[in-house]
Structure 1
Amino acid sequence: MSSSSSRITGTVLVAGGSGFIGSAVVDELAARAAARGGPAIQVLARRAPSSRDATVGHVRADLTRPETLRGALAGVEVLVHTAAYVGRDPARCEAVNHGGTLALLNEARRAGVEHVVYVSTASVYGPGPHRGADEHALVPRPASPASTSRLRAERAVLDAGGTVLRPHLVHGAGDEWFIPALARLLTEVPAWSAGHASRSSLIAVHDLARGVAGLACGPSAADRSTVYHAAHPQPVATDRLLSALQRHLGFPVPRGDVSPGEHRDLVTHAVPELSDHQYALLTLDHWYRADRLWSRIGEDPGPGFEARFAEAADWYAAHLAGRDRPRVRQGAGPGRRPGGSAG
């Protein structure tokens, strides 16, 4: 834990704290508070949080109904915003992601909240390929309603002096999109593009939670209006991903005897609900320099993909076994279950 984590004396409120990323952030904050003393923790969500820690409070509110937020941030020192809608309904994307963020920021301003940390997505950059860019190298060109609305939310947070994190693909217990989507592809199309080994920035959900908690609990002055890539600094090649699925989940290594165009045609036929944007996230280079976050909070980024995937392998096996076959959820985003924050 960063030595600066005891700075917070008020409450940290996690908006969307019942989702995939949000619940991991709540667990990390609770663990830090229990270990060394720390802030009170509250979850703002439409449903009760998954945390069983009795010290975690719950505030029921709906980002699309600003009147339900009135008074919800009283006494809050830091707001961590992980709530998002990553489906394909443009109106709902705007209402939840941008409008909901504006409502949160308005209430935070009224309540005197000192710092806002917003978990966005590297999808704001568009479909790629992206290779080793830092936080200042790319002009965002979002390719989906979810990413467009989240970029607008980012700008509002930055204008308010907040901090933005951009993870790419998030994995771990609770992931209902990234690894399940790969599993579905391998089930329906046991092939991969010949000579087409892309690399991706990945992060385990609990390592992402450490990054969020480190920013939330550390001195915020240096983070005003700052963007951080949230990933392990070492990108992961597709062959390592597929090998991990073979070792831990029993999926066969796909043959590599089709062209990129043939592969896309096969996937379009077999998995029609996978959008071009989602397909690009899984098959094109999307890796970003991500050392600034870990340097900023003074923490190690963790052991990397293979070790973290092994830790979550039993959860993935049970999750995939609980379905007739792995499905790609309509409108899902990387590393997201309902209430999560990627798209």
Structure 2
Amino acid sequence: MALVSGGILLTGSTGFVGAATLRALLTTVQARRVRLLVHRRTPEIVGGDGVRLVPADLGQPSSLHGICDGVETVVHLAARIGGDEETCQLVNHHGTAALLAEARRAGVRRILALSTAAVYGDGVHRGPTEDQLDPRPVSPTSRSRYDAERLVRAAGGVVLRPMFITGPGDTWFLPTLLDLVRALGAWVDDGRAWLSTIRVEHLGTVIATAATRTPLTPGGVYHATDPCPVRVRDLVTRHANNPLPAESISLDEAERRLPAPFTPRQLRLLFTDHWYDSSRLWRTLDLPEPGGGTGCGRSCPACRSRVADG
């Protein structure tokens, strides 16, 4: 894999994934080659290390002028999560369009953007590859991120789609899962659902590697999850501080019991199968798989599928 030698522009460096990516980048490249788009906050990791900060706002396209000058690679992680349709479209769709226009004007050679497997929308998802499931986003966030995806891919950029991201700074996935189990006082379908997850530090390494090497296919999309999904019961058991429930109820019963402020969509998202085949990413980047690359034997559906195919 060829090493990319030019400058890197990183957006979203103060976010959950962005901070982990910045740490990974600074162990991979010289700091003077990293430029950060900053909006309201400055990354805590920055301080006298040569990283260049450039103030700009994706919601104000005029502020982006010149931001890509001298840059070879754009790593676009910034996104508006939550909010109404207009706000999400302004930042995620139109902001990405403005950034891509600047990248094109400046002659940027490579673009890597973070999206989400939530663009697939509702339904049970059991191990599809990137080519087997058509996106059907249902929320303002997912719709606008999918619109941004299409712009990035049309420009020859690469899109990564993680699902559930864990680790220090996770304020949504595990907290919501644990709170839901506690609020229901029961497992849903015995906690049997399989979910695709990835630790934030692993995702940061994946993004930094993809940004500084050249193996990923221009215009391509990759599932950025751990190779093996994990059961809801195992996740909760591993992280819960409260006594685990003894009762198990059906998804329908859980929806009848569901207290505010939880939503039926959250319930279905967290307690039905949502896992994705990520073998294309790990094979292409040639990175060690989390957990030593040994998988989990035959206990998860991804490993069972690989055994059956092999």
Same-fold status (TM-score > 0.5):
yes
* CA distance in structure 2 between the partners assigned to 1:182 and 1:193 by the alignment: 11
Secondary structure at the aligned position of 2:247 is classed as strand
Matched, 1:41 2:37: no
Map residues 164-183 of structure 1 onto 2, 5 A cutoff.
164-183=159-178
Q: Which amino acid aligns with 1:262?
A: E
Report what 2:223 is aligned to. 229
8 Å CA contact 1:194–1:256 kept in 2: the answer is: no
Map residues 1-343 of structure 1 onto 2, 5 A cutoff.
4=2, 7-33=3-29, 40-46=33-39, 47-53=41-47, 54-195=49-190, 197-219=192-214, 222-246=216-240, 250-267=241-258, 269=259, 272-303=260-291
**Segment of structure 1 superposing worse, 159-168 or 57-66:** 57-66
TM-score norm. by structure 2 comes to 0.89
* CA distance in structure 2 between the partners assigned to 1:183 and 1:193 by the alignment: 12
Q: Deviations over 1:269-291 (max 9, x none)?
A: 2xx23333332221111000011
Report what 2:303 is aligned to. none
Secondary structure at the aligned position of 2:28 is classed as helix
Measured at CA, do residues 38 and 63 of structure 1 come closer, stay the same or move farther in structure 2, by a change above 3 Å? Answer: closer
8 Å CA contact 2:191–2:233 kept in 1: the answer is: no
Report how far residue 242 of structure 1 moved: 1.4
* CA distance in structure 2 between the partners assigned to 1:251 and 1:127 by the alignment: 30
8 Å CA contact 2:115–2:159 kept in 1: the answer is: yes
8 Å CA contact 1:30–1:56 kept in 2: the answer is: no
* CA distance in structure 2 between the partners assigned to 1:160 and 1:253 by the alignment: 49
Report how far residue 66 of structure 1 moved: 0.5
8 Å CA contact 2:189–2:249 kept in 1: the answer is: yes
Q: Which amino acid aligns with 1:19?
A: G
> Of the two structures, which has the highest relative contact order with CA contacts closer than 8 Å and spacing of 6 or more?
1
Report what 2:300 is aligned to. none
* CA distance in structure 1 between the partners assigned to 2:81 and 2:150 by the alignment: 18
Report how far residue 38 of structure 1 moved: 7.7
8 Å CA contact 1:12–1:39 kept in 2: the answer is: no
Secondary structure at the aligned position of 1:175 is classed as coil
Q: Deviations over 1:297-335 (max 9, x none)?
A: 11012128xxxxxxxxxxxxxxxxxxxxxxxxxxxxxxx
Gaps of 5+ in 1: 305-343
Secondary structure at the aligned position of 1:27 is classed as helix
Q: Deviations over 1:8-36 (max 9, x none)?
A: 22211111111010111111000122xxx
Secondary structure at the aligned position of 1:77 is classed as strand
Report how far residue 266 of structure 1 moved: 2.0
Q: Deviations over 1:106-133 (max 9, x none)?
A: 1111111111101000000012200010
Identity of aligned residues (%): 39
* CA distance in structure 2 between the partners assigned to 1:172 and 1:106 by the alignment: 34
* CA distance in structure 1 between the partners assigned to 2:132 and 2:32 by the alignment: 36
Report how far residue 39 of structure 1 moved: 6.9
Measured at CA, do residues 13 and 181 of structure 1 come closer, stay the same or move farther in structure 2, by a change above 3 Å? Answer: same
**Segment of structure 1 superposing worse, 189-198 or 54-63:** 189-198
**Segment of structure 1 superposing worse, 189-198 or 105-114:** 189-198
